[in-house]
Structures are given as C-alpha cells and as structure tokens.
Amino acid sequence: MNLSKEVYMNDEHEFGKGLLPAYGQMVWVNSREKLFEWYRLYFHTVLVSLFFLVNSVFALSSAMLFIKQFNDAASGPGAISSLVPGNPDILTSVLGILFFPLDQWPLFWLCSIFFCYFTMCYSTVTQPIKRGYSTLLTYISERGRRAVLVVTIIHMSLLYSGLFAWYINLFTRDFFSNMRVEDKPHLKITSMTGFVDFLMIIPVIICLIVAFYMAREFYKNEDFKKTFYKWEFSFLSNQSFSLRGKKCDVVVGWEKKTAKPIVLSEESRFLHELVVGATGSGKTSTAILIRIVQDLVRIARGHKVGVVVLEPKSDLIRDVQKLAEQLGIPKSKIKVVDPTDLLQSIKFNPLAGPLEVAAETWRGVLDALAGDQDPFFKGQQSETSAQYVMLGKIRYGNQFNFILHLQRMYSEPRFLADMTEDVRRWIERNLNNPLITPEERVLLDRYDRVCTYFENDVLEYVFAKDKEGGQLPVLYPQGHKYAGKQVVTNKKDKFIAGAKKYVTDISMNAMLSQLLVAAEGEETLDLDTFLNDGGILLFNTALAELEELSLMFGQFIIRQMQSAVFRRPPEEEGYKRIPVFFTIDEFPLYINDAFSRLLTLGRSYKVGTLIAIQNLGQLRVVQAGYDEVILTNASNKTVFGRGEVKDNEYFSKQFGEAYVMEESLNESVTPMSMPNQSRGLRYNTARKLEPRFTPTEIKEQPFKHFIVEVVGQDGSIAVPVQAYGKFVNETKFLKRFIDIGRIQLATQNHKPLTFKGNIHQLAYLVEQLDDKKKNDDAAPEVNSETAATDSQQNTALTAENHTATQQNGPVSPPAGAKEPPQAVPFPPNTEEKSESAAGTSSSAEDESFEWPAEDNDEPGSGDSEGPENLEEKREESSPSQTHSMPDNFDDLVKTVHDNLIGSPSAAPASSAPASGGDKAASQSKPRSDDLVDLDDLAAVDRRDSSTQQRYADEQINKVDDYKEDDI
C-alpha cells in the first residue's frame, strides 16, 4: 500500500489541511490517557495521604480538647501550654494553627472517628509511588499496612477519648460537683469531682486494652495476619489498579466479586500465558482478543510493539484487521500471510535466514511431521534434508527458494548435480586464491564437506560399458531438458520418500506454490526487520483448505519465528529490543519439541507467548510429559469451563488450597427407655485446608467466566481468582481510540505548530523554482537536434532504470547520457543482508570469494562475487533512474512534499512518452548471452526481486523516524 496515497494525498491531510484539529485531538487523547493513568496509579495514594494529614490534625485537636477538660483552660492550645513551665505564648500560637474547634461541631467530631476507619480501608486499594526501582511511598506492603494500622488506632483513640471526655465534662461535671459532704471531716473525699475525672479517663483505658488484645491476636493468629495483609476495600478496589501506559500492561479480566480489573504486567507477559477452554467457551473473543486490542491501541498511538498472531482459520486475523482499521493503524504496519487471500498477503520464504538456521528449520519440520516413522528412514530423511538446504543456501544465498529450487533438488537429480558441480568449481577456485583469509578458508572447508557429501553419498553418475569393457557416460536423449548431459540418479531417493512427498505436495498446491514464491515487486516477509520495527503480523495456516499441508506451513512459521527471535541483537549501545507478543490459537496443531526453547528463553529476548488450547491431552501428543513442560514455562494461566474431568482435577490442584473454618453442630439425646433422659447440643469449629476451586466449580463456570492465575509485578504468583471477560465492544479499549492511528501519523509527520519546519520547506521550494528557471533559460542555447536526441534518450533511460531500480536499486548513468536538470532521484538502495547471531549467513560470508566465470579461466582470476551478485555486475553500466522536473507548480509542490516524507512513489511522472519507456523496460530484461557459465534459470532465480519492496519499507520506516530538522 502506498503510504503517500494512504495518508498524505488525502484532501483532509494534504499540506496541513485539518492538521490543527488532528493535532488538538492528539493532544487531548494523550492528556486524557495521562490523566486516567495518574488517577489509577497516584490519585488514590495522594488522596489517602491527605486524609491521614487531616486525621492527624483532628486527632491533635481532640487531644488538646481532652486535656482542656481537666484544667479548664480557655482553649485547646492553652491547655497544652499550661502544662509547660512558663506557659509560653509562642507554643500557644503554633498549636493554634493546627487546632480545629471540634467541640463546636460534636456530630462532625463523631463522624471523624469513622472517617479514620474509612481512610484505613481506602489505603488498601492504593498503588505504590515509585521512582525507578525505589519505592517512595506505599500503603499496601506489609510494612505499610502495619504502619497504617498503628496510625489509625492512635487517631481513633485520641478522637474517641477527647469526644467522650468532652461529653462527660459538659453534661455530668455540674451535677456531680454539687454533691459535697462538708459536715463529715473524717472523710478524705468530700466531693464527686474526682469521679468525673475518672469517668473521662475510662476511654483511654478501654483503648489501651483493645489495642493490647488486637496486637496479641495479630501476632498469634496467622490467618488473621494473612487476611489483613491481603484484604482490599471492595467498594473502591476497581478504581485503582496498576495499568501503566508506557509499558505493555494489559487487563486480562475483571474479578467477579469486586469488578476490579486484573492487570498482567509487561514483565509477567514475558513469562508466557496458557489459555485453556473448550470450543465456544469464549476464550478467543473474551480473553485473546482483549489482550490483542490493547496492544493494537499502543501501536496506533505510535509505540513500538510487535503483535504476531498464528491461527488455523481466518476468524481471529479478520477480527484483528477490523480492529486495526477502526483504530486507524496504517496498512503499512500490517503484514498478512494468508494462502487463502493472495491479493493482500505478502510472500513467505520458509527457508529464509542464515544457512544453519534454514537447514535446521527444514529438518525440524520433517521430524515433527514424521511422528512414529521407522527410526532408520526418519534418520535418513533428517540427514539429507539439512544437507539439501545447506547446498541450496551456498549456491543461491538468500534467493534459495522452496518451490523453484528445493523441489527440483528432490525430483531432478541432474539439477542437484549441476548445483553440486557449480559449488565445487567455486570452492576450488577460491581455495587456490592466495588472498583469502584463514577465516574464509575455514568457511570454504565447511562448504567443501557439504559438497563432498553429495558427491560421495547422494549423486551417482550413470555409465554404460562399451564393447571393449570400458565405461561410457549415459547422456540424456535429444529433446530432454538436460539433453547432452550425463544421466544422474539419487542414491537416497528410496529413503527420503516422505520428504519428497511433502515437497511435491507443496509445489503442486495452488495456494502455497504462489505464497512461497515472490514475483517481481512483491513483498517478502522479513522477520528480522519486523522484530526490530514492530507492527502487526498475522498468519493464517488455512487448515480447512490445506489440510495436512497446513500443519507443515504452521511448523515453518513457528520455527522461522523462533529462529528470528534468537537472532535479535543484544541490548547494548543504546539499542533496545521492542516487546513482541506471539499469540498461537489452537497450538496443538503446530506443536513440536523445539518450541519449549522459545518458552524457556523468550523472556530474555522480550518475547511473550500466548498459547491457546482446548485441553491438556492435546499437549501429550508430542511426547509424554510435554504438557508439564508447557504448564511449567507458561506461568500465567486462564482456565474456562466445560473442560475434561482430568483437566478440571489437575487445575483444581494447580490453583492450590486455602484454610477454611468448618462448623458443625452435634446433638445428643438419651433413648426414651433410659431413665433421666437428657438432650445436649455441641457446637464445633475446625480449621482445615480445602481446594480454592473444586473440579465441579471449574467445570460449571458460566459463559465468559474463567479462573485466572497471574504473576504479579513483584515476581510472585498471585492468588487465583474467578473473573469474567468482556467482548471488545463492551469495553472502552476501542471506543476511546477510534482513528487514533491516522491522527497519530498525521501529527507525527506534519508539524503544524512548529514554524521552523515550514520555513525549511518553503526555502526548499524556492530553491527548486530558481533551479528550474535557470535551466529553462539555458535550454534555448542547445540546438534542436541534440535536444531531440537527449529527450528520446532520457525517456528510454527513465523507463529502463525504473525497471532496473526495482531489481537492483539505482545505478550510474553511462558515458554520454545526460541527466535531466535538477532531477529528484530515489535514495540509494541497500543490499539485503542476512542477519545472524553467529554471523554465519552464507551470502554475507561469501562476499569476498570468487565465483567462476568460465571453465577455461585461470584459477584465482575470477570475479570476486558470488552467483547471486552476477546480475548486479551486469547492471553496473546501466544509467541511474531519474525523474524530470514537472511543468507546473502544483506538481512541484507535491513532488517536494513526497520527497520530504520519503515516499517510495514520490517521484513525479516523467514528461517523456510512454512508448519509449515500454521499449526501454523490455530491453532491460536479461539475455541468455549475459549469463556466465551458469544455467539460465538459476541465474534468473538469483535476481533480487524484492528490492523495490524493501526500498518502500525503508522509506516507510523513515516516516516513523521523521524529525523537523530532517527537512
């Protein structure tokens, strides 16, 4: 999809139209989300802190009023000052600032006691405030909760004691003060005033006794302590949760009891997830899609995140595409590999990547599909499969193709022999080259062993005996495609029938044969680039259409994905791996032994995997104990209802047990025949462990309900809870971000509020106009004949180089060719390089080696390029692609605009006739006499057909890196 047509050529966005509203909307969305995040993470903690401060003021005021009741001071601060020698006025003034006259509002005083208790409950749903890895303030840790409990008890005690003393003093002191016994001098107490003071001290004694018993029970009763540390205020628990916008945290469900969102942190997602649910239980629509849509929102808002989905049917990827469209995500960020929809699907090369990786991919796929095959035949098939791929990668590099090359290697022994002979000549020539380095010699020795394997163990040249007993080579007859060449047979042919069958089936399949071969200008999937840039990658293995081939196709995807993940560059020198989340629906269809390595090491490469299955029995198909491997490495689990009995029993044990109090009531009655009949009741309680969820409870969960067990942010496993899911349209994830992707892209590449960028753009336009005027003034000085010749030549060169650039990038013009004035060429193309963690890509390693040109050449004098570079050498003398200046100002403005954004189709159309371009394009095709000592088909196959698409991808990536100073 042309990005410039998709976004920039829209009337709403062209040259700033509608950008100010878009920019304003983007600012509003970002501000709104920051406000929501601040509300979730910090607002409640800050508010509770203010509540504690207010409670402290009230408690201090109550303490002043409590003391005032004993010394009859004029005010609360004065009562405290009277206790200090000298009665300092400055102390009274300071305390007066913190004093609140609660005695004037007795009802408010009473409510403040309960407000302290509310504050303590409210603190249980707050989130810790952190800076980096340091925690600045928290009320939910064990230490924080103990501190909150102590402070709350102090506040409530002071408020309660002050209120009680004030009430007693106000309503009873006058009454008891009138009770005097003055005519009894032998009595030591002649007034009841002291009794009033005793009554006012009673609440203090009560508070101390209650605090003592609470402390003793707290440290004595483990259940009480554990409950206190984990309890949350259910009425407000759904308002505060740890969903961070800068991280890839996701809401996986809502607790059934409290409706609190259950958040799975980014770090926990890298520990992988397992979703288990029968068909129709809602696992895709209410669990998988909910996670994906939250990642899509991040991509739409410009964050670098990778979302990969693999499924056997197209339902899920169609839903993801619809959601991406609603969010406004550019189509350039969406890659679809779908054999049932070849029009929108990009091509997929299952043998891409470094030499050893491609070989192990093909070997692993065959091993996974072989199942219980005879060990001998399985071993032979595994051995030859890796060698076949290595030979093909040595011979063709990254152009090695499953359909055009590997299928012929299995079915045509002569083709395999030609490849072996080509590689042998190349190795011998470079071994005789004195300029090769020791490292290159080691590499050639490795290649030599591969070539020797085919010469000794696979290929058998057919000979016939002549009359004299000698041997004569048997040649293919006239009319045969290999006429005149010696007949060759494959010694391993009868041992590799299984691999040959799979290759033939794929080659004969109409959908896969087109999906695995890229035509001119078609995009081929580059997993290394995707893992570096992020985006959306959707795979449909089309089980209904491909049947058994769907399983092989899925195996290729799994292994290529795993290999690309392990090739990710390390995080050093400022480079950061972007998070990638790999969702596999119906995982048992693609199961293999090697996948456990991705689960084990994926966290180190910032890749989180979600596996969706219907029951655990499907995991045991690979081998005994494979279910334990998956269950151990997938730390986050989501279990729906309607499961099998064994699965329900397993998860009932997996979710653990909890202590419960069992109550019983026993009744004893003596028989009627016994004298002195009696009847007794006895109430018993017992503490015992019970499963948190019984197998029956797990099985009978309603639709959209599930039990979820996740790893918390602190790395510890959280207590499993029953939760419910929602459909995407029932949540706010999608509603709040409609078209946010288009708005983000528009505001990212157009800076409507930056004046500097517009000045640079205007200066560039003026410069282009001045150059055009100078060229127009100089044009009449050229004679008409030369002008006509140059015009015709430039027309042909433009069309010819347009084709050449699609194949090999821009090239230099030949002698005598004149460039149009002030042309705007495409940026230089970069050659495709195979990336490998070990640096073992054959194409990269062979750059300095010499490939044979002619059989009669002297050793060491050949070209210093591999066969995949021969086409580039032939094109070196071709003229570079140029684009003439448009004749009107509007086209010029559009040209400059597209050039600024780096659009691959930004060059303006040439004013030359189309017929000349068609002729030049036809002349740019390779001729048979251009090919050097290699068969025509192989040389044509070596052409880099994805150059144009790679160039387009590179320019689209430049849009993401756009800065105003780049103009």
Phi, psi of 590 (to 5 degrees): -115, 20
Number of structural domains (the chain) is 3
205, part of any domain? yes
Per-residue pLDDT band at 280 (split at 50, 70, 90): confident
Say what the alpha-carbon torsion angle 734, 736, 738, 739 is, to the nearest 10 degrees.
Answer: -130
Say which residue, 292 or 402, is predicted with more confidence: 292
Q: Which domain holds residue 379?
A: 347-524
Q: Report how far residue 260's alpha carbon sits from residue 243's, in angstroms, rounded to the nearest whole number.
A: 12
| Residue 498 pLDDT class (50, 70, 90 cuts) | confident
Least confident of 244-248, 757-761, 881-885: 881-885
Per mean pLDDT, which range of 515-524, 642-651, 741-750 is the poorest? Answer: 741-750
Q: Is residue 725 part of a domain?
A: no
Is 454's pLDDT higher than 50?
yes
Of 230, 263, 289, the position where a domain reaches its end is 230
Give the global pTM. 0.71
Residue 372: pLDDT band (50, 70, 90) is: low
Q: Tell me the DSSP string of 734-769.
A: TGGGTTHHHHHHHHHH--TT-HHHHHHHHHHHHHHH
Asked whether the predicted pLDDT for residue 153 surpasses 90, the reply is yes
Integer-rounded Cα Rg, in Å, for the chain is 40
225 and 365 belong to one structural domain? no
H-only helix segments in 328-477: 355-370, 375-396, 407-411, 413-431, 438-453
User: Looking at the domain assignment, is residue 331 inside a domain?
Assistant: no
Are the C-beta atoms of residues 606 and 580 closer than 8 Å to each other?
A: yes
Question: What pLDDT shows up at residue 401?
Answer: 84
Would you place residue 85 in the very low, low, confident or very high pLDDT band (cuts 50, 70, 90)? confident
CA nearest to 568, candidates 592, 533, 523: 533
Does residue 110 belong to any structural domain of this protein?
A: yes
User: Is position 388 within any domain?
Assistant: yes
224 and 367 belong to one structural domain: no
* Residue 690, H or E segment: strand 679-691
Instruction: Give the pLDDT band (50/70/90) at residue 462.
Output: very high
C-beta atoms surrounding 246 within 10 Å: 9
Amino acid identity at 643: G
Asked if residue 207 belongs to a domain, the reply is yes
Assigned domain for 683 exists? no
Work out the mean pLDDT of the chain and round it to a whole number. 77
Q: So what's the pLDDT on residue 928?
A: 34
Which residues 6+ apart lie within 8 Å of 759 measured at CB? none
Give the rounded percent of residues in the chain with a pLDDT score beyond 70.
Answer: 74
Specify the range with the lowest mean pLDDT, choosing from 253-257, 800-804, 940-944.
Answer: 940-944
Q: What is the mean pLDDT of residues 368-397?
A: 83
Q: For the chain, what percentages of helix, strand and coil (3-state, to nearest 5) are there?
A: 55, 10, 35
Please tell me which residue, 928 or 457, carries the higher pLDDT value.
Answer: 457
User: Is the per-residue pLDDT at 254 higher than 70?
Assistant: yes
Buried b (16+ CB within 10 A) or exposed e, 479-499: eeebeeeebbebebeebbebb
Higher-confidence residue of 905 and 670: namely 670
H/E segment holding residue 336: strand 334-337
Give burial (CB, 10 Å; 0-12/13-18/19+) of 199.
middle
Q: Are 630 and 591 in contact (CB under 8 A)?
A: no
Q: Give the integer Cα–Cα distance in Å for 807 and 809.
A: 6
pLDDT the model gives residue 78: 82
Mark out the alpha helices in 580-692 (DSSP H runs): 595-601, 626-633, 645-654
Looking at 485, 501, 524, the residue that finishes a domain is: 524
Residue 895, pLDDT score: 46
Asked whether residue 71 falls in the same domain as residue 196, the answer is yes
CA atoms of 851 and 427, how far apart (whole Å): 8
Quick check: is 211 in a domain?
yes
Q: For residue 799, what pLDDT is reported? A: 44
d(CA 19, CA 636): 43
pLDDT band at residue 906 using 50, 70 and 90 as cut-offs: very low
Measure the CA–CA gap between 455 and 450, rounded to whole angstroms. 9
Q: Look-up: residue for tokens 């995982």?
A: 587
CA angle centred on 855, ends 852 and 860, rounded to 5°: 45
Decide which of 472, 490, 524 is a domain's last residue: 524
Mean pLDDT of the region 554-560: 90
